[in-house]
Amino acid sequence: MRQYCVVLFGLALVNAIGDSPRLPRSGGAALSHLQGKCSTIPDLCTYMSSFSQSFRDMSNQIKIQSDDIKKLQGMISDLQSSFGDLAELTRRSVTSLSSQANIESTPDPECAQKPPMRLSVNRNGFCLNGRKFHILGTVGPFATFPSFGNNAYRQSQETIQKWIKDIKQNGGNTISLLIGFNPSEIAKILSQSTSKIQVYHQSILQDINTMLQDAAKEKVTVQLILFSSSVQGMEFFLEKDPVVLRFTDLILSPIVQKLKGNPTISSWVIFNHPEDFLDLDEKSIKICTDPESMKRYSPMIYKTKTRTGLSVLQLQKVTNWIADSIHNADENALVTIQVLSLATITDSPRKFMTTNYFSNACLKAAGNRQNGYLDFYQSREASNPDKSRWFSISPFLNKYEEYNFDKPVVIVTDPEVIVSGSRLDGLWVTLAQQGYSGTLGGSYRMANHKEKVNNAMQALKKAVLERKLKVNVEN
C-alpha cells in the first residue's frame, strides 16, 4: 500500500509540472506511464527503477496470498462438510453401538428357537426376538388407582401413561400393574348368571386392552398382577376351592384367551406377596409345606401382620390351578408370582436352609394340575430393619448360580429399603452382572424414589450400550 501511494504521488508530481496525464486505472499502468517520463524527471526515474521491482514482488505476494485465501476457503468448505459427515457418523455410531450391544447379547442359542415378538424363557433367562433379554422397569404403585373393569382404568389412565413414558425415556422396558380382582366382588359376580359374568370379564378386558395399547405405543411390556395381599379378604376367597375353580373357568380363562398372543403382555403374576396370606405358625412334617424358612429370613415383614390361617398347601394348590388355567388358555404365556424373599423360592437346604415352596414338584403335589407351574420367579428384596446390612440370602451378596434355582429370577427393589449408603443404580448393575434376569423398582409414585429408579434404569441401559452387560433391554 505504501508503494502504491508513492506511485500516485509521482503521478501528481508529473501533473504538477505540466504534463497533465490521465490517471491510469492500475498501479502497473501508472509505473509504465512514469517510466516513460524519465527524461523529464531523472530523480523520479531513479527511484521508480528500484520501486518497479518492489511493486512486482508485492504483486506476486498478493497473488500468492489470494491463492492461499482460495485454498483456505476450500478448506473451510471441506471442514463444514466434514462436520455434517461427523454428525451423521456419530448418529450411526450410537445406533451401531446399540445394535452391537443387542447382537452380542445372544450367548444362548436356545433363544433362536423361541417364538419371535413374544417374551419367552429358558433355563438361562429370558429371550425376545432371538436375543437374551433383561426385564427392566418398575412395579406400578397399587394404591393410586382402582381395580380394572367398569372403565376404572380411565380414572388413572393419565397417571399410568406418564409412568409408561418415563420408563421408556429412562431406558426401561417393563411395567408391572395390578388388575386387582376384588374377592368380595368376584364372589358376588360368580353367584350370578353366565351372561352377567361375561359382562363382568368383558369390562375388565376392555380396560386391559386400553392399557396395553398405551404401553404398546411406547414399546413397553406389561406384567399383569391378578391378586395382591393389600386387598382385604383375599385369604377367605382363596380357601374356597369351588369359588377359585369357577373364577378360573368363567373369568380368568376367557380373559387370557382373548389376550392370547399379545406381545405387550410380558407375563401374568398370580400373587403379589403371597406369604402375607399364610399362617406362619403352621407346623408340617413335609418339606414343601413347612413355612419355617420363610419366617427365618424376613422377620421385618412377617412380624408386622396378623394372619388368618391360609395354609402353605392351600396357597400352593390355588397357585397350581391358576397357573394351569393360564397356560391352557395361552400355551406361550409366562406365569410367575412375586414373593417377599428369595427364601420362599430357594431350594438350598445346606447353604441357606431354605425350601422352594413354588417348585414344579411342590405345586403339582398340592394341586395335581400338569400345567400348573411357574415359568420364572420374582422376588422383592430388602435390607434388615435398621438398613445396616443385607440378609445373608440377599441377591446383592450372592450370585444367581449360588442358589440352585431351577428358573430365571427377577429382583424387585424399593429405594427406601436398601442398605444405608448404597445406591440403587449400582445395585441394579450388580444384580445383572451376577446373573439375575431382571430388575424392577418400587415406590414409583414418590418423586424422590421415582428419580432413583429412573437413574437405576439409565445406569443399567448404559452398561448394556457400553457392552459391560451382554443382554438386550430393547423391546
Report yes or no on 470 lying in a domain: no
* Residue 90 located in a structural domain: no
Look at residue 143 in the predicted model and tell me its pLDDT: 53
What pLDDT is recorded for position 221?
Answer: 96
Output the pLDDT for position 112: 76
For residue 138, what is the enclosing H or E element?
strand 135-139
Kindly state whether residue 50 falls inside one of the protein's structural domains.
yes
Cα–Cα separations (whole angstroms), residue 293 to 275, 302, 357, 401? 12, 12, 10, 20
Q: What pLDDT digit, counting tens, does each position of 27-36 carry?
A: 555 555 545 5
Q: What pLDDT score was predicted for residue 374?
A: 98
Of 23, 47, 80, the residue at which a domain comes to its end is 80
Number of domains the chain contains: 2
CATH number of the domain where residue 385 is located: 3.20.20.80
Identify whether 91 is part of a domain: no
pLDDT given for residue 46 in this prediction: 59
Q: Does 161 lie in the same domain as 60?
A: no
Do 262 and 141 share a structural domain? yes
Residue 149 sits in the same domain as residue 231: yes
Cβ neighbours for 103, distance < 8 A, ≥ 6 positions apart: 131
- 58 and 161 assigned to the same domain: no
| CA 399/CA 391 separation, integer angstroms | 14
Burial 254-265, CB ≥16 within 10 A → b, else e: bbbeebeebbbb
Q: Which residues of the chain have pLDDT under 50?
A: 2-23, 25, 34, 87, 89-106, 300-301, 303-304, 306
Q: What is the pLDDT of residue 345?
A: 93
Q: Is residue 99 part of a domain?
A: no
* Range(s) of the domain holding residue 421: 104-465
Same domain, 46 and 161: no
211/344 same-domain check: yes
Q: Do both 296 and 164 map to the same domain?
A: yes
265 part of a folded domain: yes
Q: Give me the pLDDT at residue 66, please.
A: 63
In a domain, 85, yes or no: no
Q: What is the pLDDT of residue 64?
A: 61
Domain termination site, one of 35, 64, 80: 80
